[in-house]
């Protein structure tokens, strides 16, 4: 029999069998936008907010900023406060548009990040009407204030694409996006003459030439699925998991250790732990493994037991061959 498959909408909570009766481990893989999907087409002139796994973990409001903040600081975060995430970025100019480069492509140091914020701090705090809450190497956080109604998109979602479609947009109040662009342009001019960028360009690195806003929302808007809320341990290096662990008081580890029952892992390369999960199933240390992925942008859940680990064949005299990771994620 093939593994049991559950296809779900992005905001549906996961509904596994009770973990009190089944020894289960859950593995989630990152998802990409399906830009030709019916959902995208229905949105018309604006993209769906959040990558599939972001919507799955956080709910339809996708309040990335407060969860990221919670995961990177020991300070209390008011669940009713709108928080915004600001990130220094490089916009790469092509012949007719700009492309946002991902954070892993710009090699921004802590020293550079601190100096860029120092230069722009007065402008940021004046427009947001609040002080910065937390300053990290790649993320800065601030109460969203007058920008709370902006619809924005994470760098993970927008990187490598024409930013015209991914710039922040007005929702229920006109003129907020224009106000953001004005602040963004002022900061771009400040950073253009910064010694930081002169040094970076001399070293062959991309300049930090713009500021990106994303993740605006409240902790009270988080709608994590039950498979996360009921987990005994969260594994994964993304700071979103650290934030969710604090929000729901769940132990968290950046690195995967052992496939302990009741745990949830979010890993970019699931194939690295599949051998350990397979062994745990064969040794009856686990009853089942739930794999969550996002083909064509939709949530898919499949439950694997020890009986599902080998390819099925009508030739009963042949030795069964184990399923490969590539076959599993098809």
Quickly state the pLDDT bin for 18 (edges 50, 70, 90).
very low
**Rounded Cα distance, 80 and 124, in Å:** 22
**CB–CB of 1/306 below 8 Å?**
no
Structure tokens at 83: 């928080």
SS3 16: coil
Q: Residue 326 pLDDT > 60, yes or no? A: yes
Q: Residue 182 pLDDT > 90, yes or no? A: yes
pLDDT of residue 160: 86
Residues 216 and 94 in one domain: yes
Q: How far is CA 238 from CA 30, 138, 209, 242, 266, in A?
A: 11, 13, 25, 7, 8
pLDDT of residue 330: 82
Residues 269 and 235 in one domain: yes
Quickly state the pLDDT bin for 169 (edges 50, 70, 90).
very high
Residues 246 and 304 in one domain: yes
Please report the beta strands in 169-231, taking only residues with DSSP state E, as ranges in sequence order: 210-217
pLDDT of residue 118: 96
Q: Give the residue carrying structure tokens 């030739």.
A: 315
Q: Tell me which of 203, 221, 239 is where a domain ends.
A: 221
Rounded to an integer, the average pLDDT of 148-173 is: 91
pLDDT of residue 267: 86
Rounded to an integer, the average pLDDT of 159-179 is: 91
Task: Summarize pLDDT for 82-107 with one digit per residue, the tens.
Answer: 999 999 999 998 887 899 987 778 88
Residues near 83 by Cβ (< 8 Å), separated by ≥ 6? 63, 65, 66, 69, 77, 133, 141, 142, 143, 144, 215, 216, 217, 218
Closest residue by Cα to residue 58 from 88, 26, 28: 28
Residues 178 and 303 in one domain: no
pLDDT averaged over every residue in the chain? 88
Which residues sit opposite 106 in a β-bridge?
A: none
Quickly state the pLDDT bin for 141 (edges 50, 70, 90).
very high
**Is 133 within a domain?**
yes
**Is 42 within a domain?**
no
**CB–CB of 79/219 below 8 Å?**
yes
Q: Up-side HSE of residue 168: CA atoms within 13 Å toward CB?
A: 29
Q: Residue 10 pLDDT > 70, yes or no? A: no
Residues 21 and 66 in one domain: no
In 74-109, alpha helices (H): none
Mean pLDDT comparison of 4-18, 27-41, 156-170, 310-324, highest-scoring range:
156-170
Rounded to an integer, the average pLDDT of 201-220 is: 95
Which residues sit opposite 217 in a β-bridge?
A: 83
Residues 79 and 24 in one domain: no
Residues 172 and 255 in one domain: no
Lowest-confidence pick of 9-23, 80-94, 241-255, 300-314: 9-23
Domain range for residue 282? 4-33+223-328
**Is 52 within a domain?**
no
Residues 204 and 291 in one domain: no
Q: Tell me which of 173, 200, 221 is where a domain ends.
A: 221
Which has more confidence, 174 or 317? 174
Which residues sit opposite 86 in a β-bridge?
A: 140, 213
pTM for the full predicted model = 0.88
Q: Residue 9 pLDDT > 60, yes or no? A: no
**Rounded Cα distance, 121 and 125, in Å:** 6
Q: Residue 259 pLDDT > 90, yes or no? A: no
Which has more confidence, 297 or 313? 297
Q: Looking at the 3D structure of the chain, how many domains does it have?
A: 2
In b/e form, how buried is each residue of 94-108, taking b as 16+ CB within 10 angstroms?
eeeebebbebeebeb
Closest residue by Cα to residue 322 from 260, 276, 278: 278
Percent of the chain with pLDDT over 90: 68
Phi-psi region of 74 (alpha: psi -120 to 50; beta: other; left: phi over 0): alpha
Quickly state the pLDDT bin for 30 (edges 50, 70, 90).
very high
Structure tokens at 229: 């809320």
**Is 165 within a domain?**
yes
Residues 209 and 271 in one domain: no
Lowest-confidence pick of 36-45, 50-59, 70-79, 187-196: 36-45
Angle at 296 between CA 294 and CA 298, to 5 degrees: 50
């Amino acid at each position: 029999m093939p593994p049991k498959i559950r296809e779900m909408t992005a905001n549906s909570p996961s509904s596994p069998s009770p973990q009190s009766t089944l020894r289960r481990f859950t593995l989630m893989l990152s998802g990409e936008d399906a830009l030709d999907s019916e959902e995208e087409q229905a949105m018309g002139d604006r993209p769906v907010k959040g990558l599939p796994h972001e919507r799955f973990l956080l709910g339809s409001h996708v309040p990335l900023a407060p969860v990221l903040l919670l995961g990177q600081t020991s300070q209390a975060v008011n669940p009713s406060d709108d928080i915004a995430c600001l990130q220094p970025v490089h916009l790469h100019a092509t012949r007719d548009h700009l492309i946002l480069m991902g954070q892993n492509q710009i090699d921004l140091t802590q020293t550079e990040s601190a100096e860029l914020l120092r230069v722009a701090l007065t402008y940021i705090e004046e427009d947001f009407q609040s002080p910065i809450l937390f300053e990290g190497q790649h993320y800065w956080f601030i109460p969203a204030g007058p920008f709370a109604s902006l619809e924005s998109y994470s760098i993970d979602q927008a990187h490598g694409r024409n930013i015209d479609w991914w710039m922040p947009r007005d929702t229920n109040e006109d003129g907020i996006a224009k106000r953001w662009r004005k602040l963004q342009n002022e900061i771009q001019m400040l950073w253009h003459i910064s010694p930081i960028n002169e040094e970076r360009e001399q070293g062959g690195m991309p300049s930090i030439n713009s500021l990106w806003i994303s993740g605006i929302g409240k902790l009270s808007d988080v709608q994590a699925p039950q498979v996360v809320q009921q987990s005994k341990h969260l594994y994964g290096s993304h700071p979103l998991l650290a934030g969710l662990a604090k929000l729901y008081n769940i132990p968290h580890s950046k690195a995967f250790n052992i496939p302990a029952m009741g745990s949830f892992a979010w890993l970019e390369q699931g194939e690295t732990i599949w051998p350990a999960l397979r062994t745990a199933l064969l040794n009856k240390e686990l009853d089942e493994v739930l794999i969550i992925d996002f083909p064509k942008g939709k949530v898919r859940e499949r439950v694997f037991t020890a009986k599902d680990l080998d390819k099925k064949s009508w030739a009963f005299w042949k030795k069964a061959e184990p399923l490969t990771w590539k076959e599993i994620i098809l």
